[in-house]
Structure 1
Amino acid sequence: MAGILAVPSVAIDSQLFHDHRPVAFAVISVSALAMALAGYGISRLVFSRYGVKWSYIGMVTAVIVAVVVGVPQVSAYVFPDQMRRYDRELGGAGRCLGDTPYASRDAFPSTSQVTYDDSRGDRMVVTPLDPAVPAITLSHAKRGGVHHLTPADDQTRKVLMSHGC
Structure 2
Amino acid sequence: MTDRPTRTTTMLFRKLDPPIGPDGRPAYGLPAATLAALAATTLAVAAMYAALASRFLYDHPRWASAAIAAAAVLPGAGIFLLARRVLARYGLYLWQSWAAAVVAATLMYAAPGWAYGLFPRVDDRYERELGGPGNCLHDTPYNLMRASTTYTRDHPGRMIVEPLQNGLPALRLDNAVNGGLRHLTPADATARRILAQHDC
State whether TM-score is above 0.5.
yes
1:149 aligns with 2:149: no
Number of the residue aligned with 1:98: 138
Contact (CA 8 Å) 2:173, 2:185: kept in 1 or not? yes
The one-letter amino acid paired with 2:181 is V
Deviation at 1:66, TM superposition (A): 1.3
Alpha-carbon distance in 2 for matches of 1:141, 1:19: 16
| Matching of residues 1-165 of structure 1 within 5 Å | 1=39, 2-104=42-144, 108=145, 111-165=146-200
**In structure 2, what residue type is equivalent to 1:72?**
P
Q: Distance in 2 between matches of 1:85 and 1:15?
A: 15
TM, length-normalised to structure 1: 0.91
CA distance in 2 between counterparts of 1:12 and 1:86 reads 19
> What amino acid maps onto 1:73 in structure 2?
G
Q: Which runs of 5+ in 1 are unaligned?
A: none
Is the 1:4–1:35 contact (alpha carbons within 8 Å) kept by the matching residues of 2?
no
Q: How far apart are 1:72 and its partner, in Å?
A: 1.3
The structure whose Rg is larger is 2
Distance 2:56 2:67 in 1: 9
Give the partner amino acid of 1:5.
Answer: V
Checking the alignment, whether the CA contact within 8 Å between 1:4 and 1:36 is kept in structure 2 is no
| Contact persistence 2:131–2:137 (CA under 8 A) | yes
CA distances 1:118-153 after superposition (whole Å, capped 9, x unpaired): 222211100011221100111111111111111111
Q: 1: CA distance between counterparts of 2:98 and 2:119?
A: 32
2:148 and 2:45 mapped to 1: Cα distance?
A: 37
Secondary structure in structure 2 of the residue aligned to 1:57 = helix
Which is worse superposed, 24-33 or 89-98?
24-33
- Between the aligned residues of both structures, percent identity stands at 34
Q: TM-score, normalised by structure 2?
A: 0.76
Shift of 1:12: 0.7
Spell out, residue by residue over 1:2-59, the C-alpha distance to the aligned partner (whole angstroms, 9 max, x if none). 2122111111111111223343233222212212112212321221112221011111
Quote the Cα distance in structure 2 between the aligned partners of 1:60 and 1:147. 37
Secondary structure at 1:120 match in 2: coil
AA matched with 1:43: A
Distance (whole Å) between structure 1 residues aligned to residue 88 and residue 155 of structure 2: 57
What letter is aligned with 1:45? R
Count of residues in correspondence between the two structures = 160
How far apart are residue 102 of structure 1 and its match? 0.2
